[in-house]
């Protein structure tokens, strides 16, 4: 799924740099093979702390904005990323909710305009933080970004789709391997 997200981002010209943040150093190879930079978040940091590290990196590089995406959204398309970026014009914060109340895309202009607050019900939390700070906010509902993989039922749903990406190929290979053992 990470490979699919990285390949999608590479197809969007407006995105100048992609950075993968992880506590797992083995992810660095995947990131580099797909043209992304890698930030090791260290041990026991946690998602929001790791994202703050990435935001600080964006600020050091003088980026005008930051887009945060999880790696478990294999249905995301370049078209959806472009729609999100276009919809974010003129807003400080743009976000796409996940199917379960989380946040699957968080656009910040400038980077760090709000601190990331991912976790259960993060969509409402991000909205609340932005409104409390008087920021302009845009909610962009996109089905491919909305569809993350959190549970086995999510994988089962995805196996029914004609995915032409790494996730689809991997799931088909598992299904085919299971069929040959019967």
Fold of 2-180: Spore Coat Polysaccharide Biosynthesis Protein SpsA; Chain A (3.90.550)
166-180 and 2-10 helices cross at what angle (nearest 10)?
Answer: 150
Instruction: Quick: pLDDT tens for 101-127.
Output: 999 999 999 999 999 999 999 999 999
Which residues, other chains included, contact 3 with Cβ-Cβ below 8 Å and sequence gap of 6+?
30, 34, 165, 166
CA-wise closest residue to 77 among 160, 12, 158, 14:
12
3-class DSSP state of 35: coil
Q: How confident is the model at residue 179 (pLDDT cuts 50, 70, 90)?
A: low
Q: Distance between CA atoms of 125 and 116, rounded to whole angstroms?
A: 9
CA distances (Å), origin 83, targets 78, 94, 95: 9, 11, 12
pTM of the model: 0.91
Q: Distance between CA atoms of 105 and 146, rounded to whole angstroms?
A: 8
Average pLDDT over residues 12-40: 95
Instruction: Quick: pLDDT tens for 53-96.
Output: 999 999 999 999 999 999 999 999 999 999 999 999 999 999 99
Residue 182 has pLDDT above 70, yes or no: no
- Give residue limits of the domains in the chain: 2-180
Longest dimension (CA), the chain: 59
For residue 156, the model assigns a pLDDT of: 79
């Amino acid at each position: 799924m990470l490979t699919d997200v990285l390949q999608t981002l590479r197809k969007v010209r407006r995105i100048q740099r992609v950075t993968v943040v992880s506590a797992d150093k083995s992810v660095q190879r995947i990131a580099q093979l797909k043209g992304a930079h890698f930030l090791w978040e260290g041990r026991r940091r946690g998602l929001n702390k790791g994202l703050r590290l990435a935001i600080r990196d964006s600020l050091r590089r003088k980026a005008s904005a930051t887009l945060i995406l999880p790696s478990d959204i294999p249905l995301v398309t370049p078209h959806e990323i472009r729609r999100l970026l276009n919809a974010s014009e003129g807003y400080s914060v743009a976000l796409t909710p996940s199917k379960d109340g989380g946040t699957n895309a968080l656009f910040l202009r400038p980077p760090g305009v709000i601190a990331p607050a991912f976790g259960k019900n993060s969509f409402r939390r991000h909205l609340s933080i932005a409104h409390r700070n008087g920021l302009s906010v845009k909610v962009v509902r996109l089905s491919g970004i909305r569809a993350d993989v959190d549970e086995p039922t999510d994988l089962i749903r995805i196996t029914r789709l004609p995915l032409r990406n790494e996730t689809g190929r991997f799931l088909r290979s598992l299904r085919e391997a299971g069929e040959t053992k019967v």
